[in-house]
Amino acid sequence: MEVGQLQRSFVEYMASLFREGFLDGQFSQLQQLQDDSNPEFVVEVVSLFFEDSERLLNDLTMALDQPNVDFKQVDAHVHQLKGSSSSVGAQRVKNCCVLFRNCCEEQNTEACLRCLQQIKQEYLLVKNKLQTLFELEQQIVAAGGAIPMVQ
Amino acid sequence: MVCEMESDQTEDMEMEVEVLSSMWPEDMNENGKQFNIDWPGEDQDMLEEVNINEDSTIVDFKRLVELTNYSEKGSSQLAYLVKNWEYKQENAVRLLREELDNLSKQQQESELKKLEILEKYQFEEERYGGDKRPISILDEDLKRYIFQEAPRKRNDVKIQDKLEIDAEYDSIKYWKQRATHLEKLLETSGQREQILTEKLQESIENLERQSSPVEELSQVLKRADNFLHFVLQNAPVVIGHQDNELRYRFIYNHFPSLREEDIIGKTDVEIFTGAGVKESQDFKREVLERGIPAKREITFDTGLFGSKTFLIYVEPVFSKAGETLGVNYMGMEITDQVRKREKMAKLREEIAVQKAKETELNKTIHITEETMRAKQMLATMSHEIRSPLSGVVSMTEILSTTKLDKEQRQLVNVMLSSGDLVLQLINDILDLSKVESGVMKLEATKFRPREVVKHVLQTAAASLQKILTLEGHIAEDVPIEVVGDVLRIRQILTNLISNAIKFTHEGKVGIKLYVVSGPCPDVKQGSHKRMASDHSKVLAKICKEDKCTSPSNNALDRKGSGGCKDADGANERLLQKGEGNYSEQNGASIEDEVDDPNQQETTVWIRCDVYDTGIGIPENAIPTLFKKYMQVGADTARKYGGTGLGLAICKQLAELMGGHMTVSSKEHHGSTFTFILPYKVSPVCDSSDDNEELTEMDNHDTSSEGNDDDINSGFFQFQPRTLGSLFSSHSSGRAPKLSPNGFGYNTLNKTNGFQVNSHSFPLDSNTSKETGSVEDACSVADAVETCSDPESTFKHTRNSGNPSTSGREQKINGVLDHTPCLSSPNSETTNSDQGEITEKIEKSQIQEQPDKSSECSSSKDAQISKTSLKPKILLVEDNKILVMVTRSMMKQLGHDIDIVNNGVEALRAVQRYRYDLILMDVCMPVMDGLQTTRLIRSYEESGNWDAAKDAGIDVEVSPSNTSQRSDESSTKRIPIIAMTANAISESAEECYANGMDSFVSKPVTLQKLKESLQQYLP
């Protein structure tokens, strides 16, 4: 594929991610932080985010599976996840976390499970989207193009 | 007594009567007593004694005979008896005749035979005849009688015959003898016949003698009477006959309580007194007159036999000629039955009532269940819809506080307003269903109607996109404070006002408030129109006054805000003020009111008119106006949008609060929506300003003078082309004089103070001023206004709970909060000393956030102690990603940072090195940021780590480190910036309370970080 075309679709894809609320300004922040001295910054952070999230989601699943749910524990996990997701700009995951914490406050196991389900879904969605985005980036780089800056 | 009445014709009857008297059982007395117990007493006893012995059937025989003779019924009864008797006799006669016929036939036959024999076989005949036996069809008796007698006779004869025959001559002789014998037989037969005939005669005679009609009749009657007595023996029945004057002529009463002579010849009324007597008499008369038998139940309550109910059957008696002779009447006592029946009826009634109640209860239960379900659904709804939506809106609000370029800001603003709209719509729907399902609860809070009106208008003015005048009139007699559900009232007002604005393209929209005597929505229109016109005159005056000030205002606006969003000079709105029009008279009267507080809690009806000069409502649309989802027309909906829920809610709310809402409108001329609500007036009419309960509407910074003014002002106006939020309180004429000063300050604000602001408070919404939006211009305008009129300042707080304006409110507040400082030292500030004012602004900020003062100084210190070395920064954060991001950001800002993962590690790090700045996460495992900060502060103050040790933290204090640290000033305060996920103010306060200097909300952005660092690092 032609570099220009790749770049265009990259921009479009980015825009769609923002438009659909998968990502927010924080992701742009990350992109801005990435420079020659640290060319893999975004990918690194996002990978870390994936790792972290998966661990947290596992923990959450287990915590909520207990007969007596330790909501404090759950809340702490969700807090972590919220911090992580907001740091990478995974907006929809973060929003879910906000709801999740409300449910925790109410000590509503059922609602928590629903939220967890939702977060998992959102997480997988954003993960896929980001991976697609990174693939596009790599293709651009492989084609010798520069990654366009999206404002 | 009976004999007297006898006549020849009633001989039998007399007999019968005599017989009857014997029929009464001796023990009847007891029975009689049972039924007559109602009147124990001498009279009674005597009566009974007499009655026992005498015939209980009291008969006026003469009358009875007359009746029997003359009345149709009587004669028909007689005729029936006679007929019956005749029939019986006829039957007997017929039987006898038949017998006779038979006999004669036999006789004839035998004679015939005899003749034959004689003629043909003279001898033989006789022999045959001898064998013959007479066949009788008579009764056994008769047969026996005949057989007994006849054979004997015959035998006698036969013997004679035979003797004769034997004696006589042989063959011829024999025949002769035979013939003779036969002759004799014939003779005997003839004799027998004769005997039979005699017997017959005799029996007929006997028969006739035995069953004479009179005897028979008397027998029948006797039997009937016996039967009747037998049947009626114990029946509670009274039978009587009354003549056409309703005098008793005959009465049969089994249990008489009166003697015959007391009754016969008298009417009911003459005999008894008490309830029911007259009725029965009237009833009998009625039957008499109408000639138709009838039944009726009559309850008597007489002194004679107490309270008893009788079922009375009365039938008229006619003469043969058809005239009425009297009535037969029959009464049966049914007291018990009636009682039972009534009891039954009562029971049935009770059962019916019970059933009805049950159904009602079931219904109620059903309704309750429904309501519960509705409630539940509402709760779910409100949660399910509202929370994500408020998430969106509040996120957007947060977004709007971040640094955005012009285009982004515009987009965010659109988002905000759209979000608000949806939120409002959902709130409307929820409100409506709440009201309808009866879940809506009203609150009773004290509030000041003037302020409510003012704030509603202000809020409306703030978002006004048209050139309209908004005004509010509050009559003097409206109490300063009333009790009601201020939120709902506000909701109604806001709704009506926004409606009015929506449909008004030029002219004005206003609110009028005045006290009415009751909930009746009439009158006073004329006078209010006059009032309105008065106000418009006043308005004109204000405009003139303002002309002088407006150019400078314009200039200021442009200078300060870099032009309006519209970038259209003509559209630039002028700040206008109309002080001094508040009449002295008004002031005086309000003084009166304050002096005369209502001592008890009374209800006052306040009428509120919301009027406009808009497109009006066509008459045919008015009836459906308050219905749900109804708008004037499809066209309206298309042109103006909206759901048609607003008015329905307003009306329902008004009704819920015990009032009502009406509308009057003239198409193309405007509409007036009126609602009248009852309010409680609290007994203590607290006219003092600093009422804490009222802080909802009072800006806490509001000076007391301003507040007073607010309470008393009766007229507010928001002129067209002001930038919305300005309103004039006509209480002071000094404003024009002072305004130049105000502008002076404002300029200073813009150029110096606010910029200082933006650096020291990166999160303060004041920073958005730089974008030059309309709102900022607005807030600046406010600032100018408040500055220029310090004594009558209204704080433009819009704590109305309307999210759409809250963002802007903050900004406005942000500006206004400093105004007391700016405006109060009037004489000083006229000097226009810029530096001084800047300082003042700073001070005001410091007052707002006390912890800041030390920080300011520390930053200055830092500035002083600025070295060539890079500042040492510690990041305390457990989230790896955040660490990574933050580190990267710091790197880009040119800082290397140390990183620890929790509070304990942070403490250790602080012990080892001297940091110039700490970025501290609040929520962390092991030890959170707040505690860590507290411990660090404690160390800074005391110079030791005792507090940390007390908290159980293992602090490794190496001597070298200590010495190193001790070189420095131990009291040196390290700036600590909190990094918090909750951008909400409560968390910020917590941070400050725990000794943090500032906070950065997560997610951390480069800009935020930069601003924070700039504040604390050189």
Which DSSP string corresponds to B347-365? HHHHHHHHHHHHHHHHHHH
CB B754 within 8 A of CB B603: no
| Domain parsing of chain B, residue ranges | 63-120+170-234, 235-342, 441-518+601-682, 873-955+971-1015
Query: Closest residue of A to B892, CA-based?
Result: A33
How far, in Å, CA of B251 to CA of B256, rounded?
Answer: 10
How far, in Å, CA of B222 to CA of B18, rounded?
Answer: 11
pLDDT tens-place string over residues B440-485 = 777 788 888 888 888 888 878 877 777 888 888 888 888 888 888 8
User: B630-661 b/e with 16+ CB inside 10 Å = b?
Assistant: bbbeeebeeeeebebbbbbbbbbbbebbebeb
Question: Would you state the structure tokens that stand for residue A16, as one six-digit string?
Answer: 């769609």
The predicted model gives A123-133 an average pLDDT of 90
Higher-confidence position of B162 and B449: B449
pLDDT tens-place string over residues B832-888 = 444 444 444 444 444 444 443 444 344 444 443 444 467 888 898 888 888 888 888
CB contact under 8 A, B881 and A29: no
The predicted model gives B331-351 an average pLDDT of 90
Confidence class for position B757, pLDDT limits 50, 70, 90? very low
Length of chain A: 151
Confidence class for position B4, pLDDT limits 50, 70, 90? very low
Query: Closest residue of A to B890, CA-based?
Result: A33
pLDDT tens-place string over residues B599-644 = 456 888 899 999 888 888 888 888 777 776 666 666 665 566 666 6
Confidence class for position B310, pLDDT limits 50, 70, 90? confident
Judged against a pLDDT cut of 50, whether residue B943 lies above it is answered with: yes
Nearest Cα to B795, choosing from B805, B785, B804? B785
The pLDDT assigned to A106 comes to 84
Confidence class for position A111, pLDDT limits 50, 70, 90? confident
The predicted model gives B322-347 an average pLDDT of 87
pLDDT tens-place string over residues B184-240 = 899 989 998 899 988 888 888 877 776 667 777 888 888 888 888 788 777 778 888
Q: Which of B391, B402, B888 lies nearest to residue A38, judging by beta carbons?
A: B888
Nearest Cα to B713, choosing from B542, B590, B537? B590
The pLDDT assigned to B379 comes to 63
* Range with the largest mean pLDDT of B88-97, B295-304, B683-692, B758-767: B88-97
CB contact under 8 A, B885 and A52: no
CB B641 within 8 A of CB B629: no
Whether the CB of A99 is below 8 Å from some CB of chain B: the reply is yes
Question: Would you state the structure tokens that stand for residue B985, as one six-digit string?
Answer: 């103010």
The pLDDT assigned to B551 comes to 42
User: Phi and psi dihedrals of B970, rounded to 5?
Assistant: -70, -20
Helix (H, G, I), strand (E, B) or coil at B264: strand
Whether the CB of A134 is below 8 Å from some CB of chain B: the reply is no
User: Phi and psi dihedrals of B661, rounded to 5?
Assistant: -135, 135
CB B721 within 8 A of CB B468: no
pLDDT tens-place string over residues B54-74 = 444 555 566 666 666 667 777
Pairing of the two strands B976-980 and B917-921: parallel
CB B753 within 8 A of CB B698: no
Judged against a pLDDT cut of 60, whether residue B22 lies above it is answered with: no
Q: What percent of chain B has pLDDT over 90?
A: 4
- Helix residue spans in A20-108 (DSSP H): 25-33, 41-65, 71-88, 91-106
A21 neighbourhood in chain B, CB within 8 Å: none
The predicted model gives B794-810 an average pLDDT of 40
Report the CATH number of the B235-342 domain: 3.30.450.20
Judged against a pLDDT cut of 80, whether residue B514 lies above it is answered with: yes
Please provide the DSSP assignment of B274-292 as one string.
Answer: EETHHHHHHHHHHHHHHT-
Rounded to a whole number of angstroms, the CA Rg of chain A reads: 17
Running DSSP on this structure, what letter comes out for residue B932? H
Q: What percent of chain A has pLDDT over 70?
A: 97
Confidence class for position B982, pLDDT limits 50, 70, 90? low
How far, in Å, CA of B510 to CA of B736, rounded?
Answer: 25
The pLDDT assigned to B345 comes to 93
A41 neighbourhood in chain B, CB within 8 Å: 888
CB contact under 8 A, A80 and B878: yes
Among B150-154, B270-274, B719-723, B856-860, which stretch is predicted with the lowest mean pLDDT? B856-860
Q: Which of A33, A35, A86 lies nearest to residue B1002, judging by beta carbons?
A: A86
Whether the CB of A41 is below 8 Å from some CB of chain B: the reply is yes
Q: Which of B884, B891, B892 lies nearest to residue A44, judging by beta carbons?
A: B884
The pLDDT assigned to B601 comes to 67
Question: Would you state the structure tokens that stand for residue B514, as one six-digit string?
Answer: 């005045």
CB contact under 8 A, B879 and A87: yes
Confidence class for position B357, pLDDT limits 50, 70, 90? very high
Please provide the DSSP assignment of B450-493 as one string.
Answer: HHHHHHHHHHHHHT--S--EEEEEE-TTS-S-EEE-HHHHHHHH
Q: At what angle do helices B28-36 and B42-53 cross, to 10 degrees?
A: 140
Omega of the bond leading into B1003 within 30 degrees of 0 (cis): yes
A80 neighbourhood in chain B, CB within 8 Å: 878-879
Question: Would you state the structure tokens that stand for residue B890, as one six-digit string?
Answer: 């710091």
ipTM associated with this complex: 0.80
Question: B765 vs chain A: nearest CA distance in angstroms?
Answer: 19
Confidence class for position B972, pLDDT limits 50, 70, 90? confident
Among B86-90, B714-718, B764-768, which stretch is predicted with the lowest mean pLDDT? B764-768
CB contact under 8 A, A99 and B388: yes
Judged against a pLDDT cut of 50, whether residue A137 lies above it is answered with: yes
The predicted model gives B788-810 an average pLDDT of 39
User: Phi and psi dihedrals of B679, rounded to 5?
Assistant: -125, 150
Q: Which of A32, A35, A48 lies nearest to residue B884, judging by beta carbons?
A: A48
Higher-confidence position of B272 and B449: B449
Report the CATH number of the A3-142 domain: 1.20.120.160
Running DSSP on this structure, what letter comes out for residue B696? G
Whether the CB of A88 is below 8 Å from some CB of chain B: the reply is yes
CB contact under 8 A, A30 and B1006: no
Running DSSP on this structure, what letter comes out for residue A66? S
Q: How many A/B residue pairs have CB atoms within 8 Å?
A: 74
Whether the CB of A114 is below 8 Å from some CB of chain B: the reply is no
CB B845 within 8 A of CB B852: yes
How far, in Å, CA of A6 to CA of B366, rounded?
Answer: 65
How far, in Å, CA of B676 to CA of B695, rounded?
Answer: 26
How far, in Å, CA of B164 to CA of B173, rounded?
Answer: 10
CB contact under 8 A, A33 and B387: no
The predicted model gives B552-574 an average pLDDT of 39
Running DSSP on this structure, what letter comes out for residue B263? H
CB contact under 8 A, A95 and B391: yes
Kindly state which CATH superfamily the domain B873-955+971-1015 is placed in: Response regulator (3.40.50.2300)
Q: Which of B391, B402, B892 lies nearest to residue A33, judging by beta carbons?
A: B892
Task: Tell me the C-alpha to C-alpha distance, in Å, between residue B717 and each of B320, B451, B495, B780.
Answer: 106, 13, 19, 19
CATH architecture of B441-518+601-682: 2-Layer Sandwich (3.30)
* Range with the largest mean pLDDT of B23-32, B140-149, B193-202: B193-202
* Range with the largest mean pLDDT of B43-47, B397-401, B504-508: B504-508
Pairing of the two strands B976-980 and B998-1001: parallel
Task: Tell me the C-alpha to C-alpha distance, in Å, between residue B335 and each of B252, B283, B310, B749, B787.
Answer: 20, 19, 7, 104, 97
Nearest Cα to A99, choosing from B391, B986, B982? B391
Q: What angle do CA B660, B665, B671 make, to 5 degrees?
A: 80
Question: A2 vs chain B: nearest CA distance in angstroms?
Answer: 32
Confidence class for position B358, pLDDT limits 50, 70, 90? very high
pLDDT tens-place string over residues B376-415 = 676 666 667 777 777 777 778 778 778 888 888 888 888 8
B380 contacts: CB under 8 Å, gap ≥ 6: none
Task: Tell me the C-alpha to C-alpha distance, in Å, between residue B198 and each of B191, B211, B592.
Answer: 10, 20, 141
The pLDDT assigned to B382 comes to 65
Nearest Cα to B472, choosing from B491, B450, B489? B450
Long-range contacts of A52-59 (CB under 8 A, 24+ apart): A52/A80, A52/A81, A52/A84, A52/B879, A52/B880, A52/B881, A53/A81, A53/A84, A53/A85, A53/A93, A53/A123, A56/A80, A56/A81, A56/A84, A57/A81, A57/A116, A57/A119, A57/A120, A57/A123
Mean of the per-residue pLDDT values for chain B?
66
Higher-confidence position of B329 and B601: B329
Q: At what angle do helices B406-436 and B803-816 cross, to 10 degrees?
A: 120
